Chain A
């Protein structure tokens, strides 16, 4: 049994300094690892990145993160990534990491992801260069996710993204903006990469539970969706202690 805590879209800024950390108290007793699904800051500034680092440093369990679109807004994504790393967090963008947990080796592959839409109503790499660049970016990050998942030597694999691989977890969002909330290409990567769980954020008005076409559980852990400090998902069956 591996216990995976996850949350996204904490959108921290100066006014929330010191407000989130108390909610994480005791997390090391409840989970083996914490996944952060992007939009950790509101404006993507260096200052906000440092605030995030302060809130999640030294929690007593491994913390793995991807960035979200807000974390890119001020072009400080590399600085934010460095702050996270200094705080002991493992930031992922097209890479994987294996964490040794008491219940086995947990492999996590992470990418921010991107939009493009879902089966039958999605953007194509066609026409203007801007349109092709948009879809090309999604294809690239989906391919990176698939390769990172395949490269993991682990007992259980989890895909961590900011954008959604699944339409079901967008239920509650206006359908018109689904193409800006995720892409079916991410779900294909999750299925082909052998993940047992896909965790994402970004869709604040969506719902928590969905699945890929291949049947892999998808969980939208955006903070406004969860309504709690984080969710905990147990992988590997319920037959051992912990969950």
Chain B
């Protein structure tokens, strides 16, 4: 798990430092948020290369670039 996280951070295809790796009932889940759909595919590819014998799935959210919200007065 630590190894997967390190690979996700250091592999040139991903460079994702904020993705969590969680083990649940035989499945390794990737969690967090990224800024594009294609990045989820890269995360899965890099993680599966790191541990080819495990089932790896993604719960990673793709951050919506929503409209700006209301201003906050400080």
A228 touches B32 (CB 8 A): no
List of A residues within 8 angstroms of B39 by Cβ: 15
Q: Could you give, for residues 51-66 of chain B, a 1 whenever the CB lies within 8 Å of some chain A CB and a 0 otherwise?
A: 0000000000101111
Is A92 an interface residue, CB under 8 A from the partner? no
Q: A20 to B65, Cβ gap below 8 A?
A: yes
Q: Are A223 and B65 in contact (CB under 8 A)?
A: yes
Is A95 located at the chain interface by the 8 A CB criterion? no
* Inter-chain residue pair count (beta carbon < 8 A): 82
Chain B proximity of A219: nearest CB distance (Å): 8
Contact call A234/B66, Cβ cutoff below 8 A = no
| B-contacting 9-mer, from A3-11, A99-107, A116-124, A182-190 | A3-11
Known: A11-B35, A13-B36, A15-B38. A229 touches B68 (CB 8 A): yes
- Would you call A30 an interface residue if the criterion is a C-beta within 8 Å of the partner chain's C-beta atoms? yes
Report yes or no: A19 in contact with B65, Cβ–Cβ below 8 A. Answer: yes
Task: Count chain B residues whose beta carbon lies closer than 8 angstroms to a beta carbon of A.
Answer: 25
Contact with A along B22-60 (1 / 0, CB 8 A): 000000000011111011000000000000000000000
A235 at the interface (CB under 8 A from B): yes
For B65, the closest partner residue in chain A by CB is A23
Q: Is the CB–CB distance between A235 and B66 below 8 Å?
A: no
Taking CB atoms, residues of chain B closer than 8 Å to A15 are: 36, 38-39
Complex CA–CA separation, A223 to B35 (angstroms) = 8
- Residues 225-243 of A, flagged 1 when their CB comes within 8 A of B and 0 if not, give 0111111111101100001
Q: With A43-B12, A197-B74 as known contacts, state yes or no: A231 contacts B69, CB within 8 Å.
A: yes
B69 cross-chain contacts in A, Cβ below 8 A = 226, 228, 231
Is A138 interfacial (CB-CB < 8 Å)? no
Which positions 63-115 of chain A face chain B at CB distance < 8 Å?
69-70, 73
Contacting residues, chain B, for A231 (C-beta < 8 A):
68-69, 72
Given A5-B68, A30-B68, A228-B68, A223–B15 Cβ distance below 8 Å?
A: no
Q: Can you name the residue of chain B whose Cβ is closest to the Cβ of A30?
A: B68
A16 to B62, CA, bound (A): 12
Contact at A229–B67, with CB atoms within 8 Å? Answer: yes
By beta carbon, the residue of chain B nearest A223 is: B63
Of all A-B residue pairs in the complex, the 8 with the closest CB atoms, nearest first, are: A204-B18, A224-B33, A232-B71, A228-B66, A238-B73, A234-B73, A23-B65, A243-B71
Pairs across A and B, CB under 8 Å, 23 listed: A3-B71, A9-B35, A10-B35, A13-B36, A16-B36, A23-B66, A23-B67, A42-B15, A43-B12, A73-B15, A197-B74, A204-B33, A217-B74, A224-B63, A227-B64, A227-B66, A228-B66, A229-B65, A231-B68, A231-B72, A232-B68, A233-B71, A234-B71
Which B positions have Cβ atoms within 8 angstroms of A? 12, 15, 17-18, 20, 32-36, 38-39, 61, 63-74
